[in-house]
Amino acid sequence: MSSVLGFLRRNWQAYSPPEPPKNTNPIKFGILAKSHPDVEIHAVAARQKDKAEAYAKKHNIPHAFDSYQAILDDPSIDAVYIPLVASLHYEWAIKAIAKGKHVLLEKPATVNAAEAEMLFRSPLLRQPNAPVLLEAMHFRFQPSWQYFLSLVDHENIQTVDSVAELPSYIIPKGNAQLEYNLGGGTMLHLGTYPMYALRQIMGDEPKECVTCRIRSNPPPVDLSDESTEVRFRFHGGRIGNAVINARASVTTLPTFNISVCHKEIKLEDMTLPKGQTKWTRRKLSISNFLISSFWHRIDIVDEYTIRDETNEKDLKKWTVKQSKKVYTFKDANVDQPSEPFWSSFRHQLEQFVNRVRGKQRSGLWVDQEDSIAQARMIDMAYEKSGLPLRPTSKFRLEISMGNLLG
């Protein structure tokens, strides 16, 4: 009963979080600011003024603009969240940075690795006191994910399997995520999560994309994939698999699961008789890794074997199983602020604000080279699949000394 009550309380507060008193000089930001005392919702922009005004009214946002540029031209705005179609991410992120705005950029940060290199290696980001730029890989910031990673022995991994599935009605026909020219495609959107998870768990970049089997969307959007099965090879022969499906049956629940199988390794045990050895293999899984604040479960299975060294016969086998739920950093024995009702987005916002304010860094971050490496991994998969890479933005910002000197 207590776990049911905890589930209800946690998700009610996540939906309607308590609003702390705002600090005297908060960062003026967007809708994610509701439960953070150091951030204030200030403005929203849309190409149609009536849509911007309706959104602002619904969410009690004081200002509504009818152009994205108006947001960037407002000197009172410190930071912007960019959730536009992926093909516009590069253009508006670089424009915002040139205006001195901190940027929280919806994933995928860019549509391909060439764009990622242009954005994340821009001279604008190398200047003193450059704005903060973060790709919003929100699940990376969850206590549950950090705890799960702490259980992994990177070098002794054998295989990792990641699954991300959505029922077909989540991304309906006509959605921009299906349009090739707008940076559409399941691997680039839904697929970026399980592929990023593979990189994090392996602690390494893939050496090659071994196979990539896709099912394209029907014409006229057949240059974008609706489902994918992709396999990567990592250093030491470790294998990472991802199953991505944005067209699962309507009865399928959103599914975000990962399982890790380690190699069997030998343990030192001085209590064993001569000629006997002790071995172990760890298997891990996490259910609902993407939105684990709603609910999740981490399973740890350690298999042990006593083996005769002369004939390699198994003399004894046993298994130790544990399950864990980690809703706060305190649950993971980590000294970081968090509340049970904080979503992955709220945990992400905490770290973003800390960077903007120049506070002590926690180590939880998606750095610039990380985002570039992620884009390269997705490019590898598209190239293996036979589909073309999403087209690179033609926008180029003329960077003057004025831009660099502020």
Active site residues: 107
Cβ-based neighbours of 384, under 8 Å, separated by 6 or more: 209, 210, 211, 212, 230
Give residue for tokens 């992955």.
Answer: 344
The candidate with the shortest Cα–Cα distance to 257, out of 226, 290, 303, 225, is: 290
- Cβ–Cβ < 8 Å for 160, 166: no
- Cβ–Cβ < 8 Å for 31, 106: no
DSSP state at residue 140? G
The candidate with the shortest Cα–Cα distance to 93, out of 71, 64, 61, 63, is: 71
Number of helical H runs and strand E runs in the chain: 10, 16
Task: For residue 303, give the H/E element and its range.
Answer: strand 297-308
CA of 144: how far to CAs of 6, 126, 262, 287, 328, in Å?
16, 33, 20, 10, 8
DSSP state at residue 271? T
- Cβ–Cβ < 8 Å for 307, 315: yes
- Determine the 3-state secondary structure of 272 from DSSP: coil
How would you class 113 by CB atoms within 10 Å of its CB: exposed for 0-12, middle for 13-18, buried for 19 or more? buried
